[in-house]
Amino acid sequence: MAHDWQSIRSQYLHDPDQIYLNTGSWGVMPTPVYEDYVGLIRQLESNPTQGRRPLLERLAESRRALAGYLNIQARDLALLPNVTAALNMVVNGLDWAEGDEILTTDQEYGAILNTLDNASKRWGVPVVKAEIPVPPESPAAILAPIEAAITDQTRLLVCSHITTRTGMILPIKEISELAHRHGVLVAYDGAHAPGMGPVDLAESDADFYGGNCHKWLCSPKGVGFLYANPSVQPLLHHLIVSWGYSPEGTVEVDGEPTINSSPAMWGLGNWGTVDLPGQVATGEAVRFQEEIGTEAIAARGRELSGYVRDRVSNLPWIDILSPSKPGLFGSITTIRLRGMGGKNLNKQLFETYRITIPVFEEGEDASVRVSTHLYNLPAEIDHLFKAITEIQSA
């Protein structure tokens, strides 16, 4: 089925006079999601007490929609503000013993590395980093250094599903198999996967998986989740204790981890007052993307990433830092601009060319991360390369 991407683009709220290439930080809401969100806020604020009840009923529907999208059961899903909160729930919610180690990679997001460093200092748990080649030539090139870094003391592996800096897609099913073969728990940073393409957590065999909905899924900002396999849910202590906690702890009801007669995972996200309208409207974000088709969205992102690579091929002063092998890249392409450090590139791109894109200064060089989502167009990529070429030659 062919898609009219220009028509789909028109349903998003972005400013048509600007070019937005930073979905890797925050996505743009489609109009139906925005209107649902605003309507829910209005409904709640008309009577913050009585208005909660219908929203809580819809929250159950949204939780089921998100769980279905991820191919898991809703009872195994905690709604949280973001993936950083989710992985904090895991790293700081487990019991640590003397001799335990945490394994991660050298490609992880700064907030997650901070989480691990804090846990290391607090619990005395060493953090070991496996060095992943950039870009990798194959999934095996990712798996080998991870397996080589596992020791008898490794208790938890924390790594990305899709890396923030270069958009490298890690083979998480194979990583889970590898980790479990060595008796290691595995927690994934899925900040970029939901909405970039299909996510099947049942197939992944993940123990824990944290994700964001406000990036590629384009939900209201501040909506994320933590999935935990039922077999490991009793291992987690509450990081924030509120009404989702019970002095009796987790009990088995019909074989399911339960707290206060509700699924145990729901309690992990019960922090009191949160952005309930945002969580509810996330169900509409799921519906909107599923109507277009998750495979079609993934293919569109790869197509646009391929177009970025085509544009680079004629510019010898630009290097592609992201993987180029099929299966290892999606909708993020990071390129190094040699000799363009110190040019205040971020400011120039926005103020002169109206392009929003993250820029990383690297001494004499700079790099930019190009996020290509379903609402982006090849002409926007052309404008980006026109801009950086003009700045480079100035």
Task: Flag whether 2 is in a domain.
Answer: no
Boundary of a domain, candidates 288, 304, 335: 288
| pLDDT at residue 159 in the model | 98
Residues 271 and 146 in one domain: yes
145 falls within a domain? yes
How far apart CA 247 and CA 347 sit, in angstroms, is 53
Phi, psi (degrees; rounded to nearest 5) at 259: -135, 130
Is residue 161 located within the same domain as residue 242? yes
Q: Is 310 exposed, middle or buried (0-12, 13-18, 19+ CB in 10 A)?
A: exposed
The CATH number for 334's domain is: 3.90.1150.10
Q: Judge if 244 and 308 occupy the same domain.
A: no
Per-residue pLDDT, 394: 80
Cα 302 from Cα 290, distance rounded (Å): 18
pLDDT digits (tens, 9 = 90+) for 86-129: 999 999 999 999 999 999 999 999 999 999 999 999 999 999 99
Asked if 198 and 337 sit in the same domain, the reply is no
Let me know whether 330 and 267 are in one domain. no
Q: What is the mean pLDDT of each run of 10 residues along the chain (394 residues)?
A: 91 95 98 98 96 93 98 96 98 96 98 98 97 96 98 98 98 98 99 98 98 99 97 92 76 69 82 94 98 97 97 94 95 97 92 97 95 98 97 90
Judge if 248 and 310 occupy the same domain.
no
Sign of CA dihedral 207, 212, 216, 220: positive
Do 280 and 222 lie in one domain? The reply is yes
Which range marks the domain in which residue 155 is found?
A: 34-288
Residues 259 and 314 in one domain: no
Residue 6 included in any domain: no
Amino acid (one-letter) located at 281: A
Torsion of CA 234, 270, 66, 235, to 10 degrees: -10
Output the domain CATH number for residue 243: 3.40.640.10
Question: Domain check: are 309 and 245 in the same one?
Answer: no
With respect to residue 1, please indicate whether it lies within any of the assigned structural domains: no
The pLDDT value recorded for residue 255 is 67
Number of domain units in the chain:
2
Is residue 24, in this structure, part of any structural domain at all?
Answer: no
Give the model's pLDDT for residue 19. 98
Residue 109 inside a domain? The answer is yes
Nearest to 71 by CA among 195, 196, 194, 199: 199
Is residue 62 in some structural domain?
yes
Q: Which of 254, 288, 322 is the last residue of a domain?
A: 288
Cβ–Cβ under 8 Å, residues 159 and 151: no
130 and 112 part of one domain:
yes
Of 288, 303, 319, which residue constitutes the final position of a domain? 288
Asked if 118 and 207 sit in the same domain, the reply is: yes
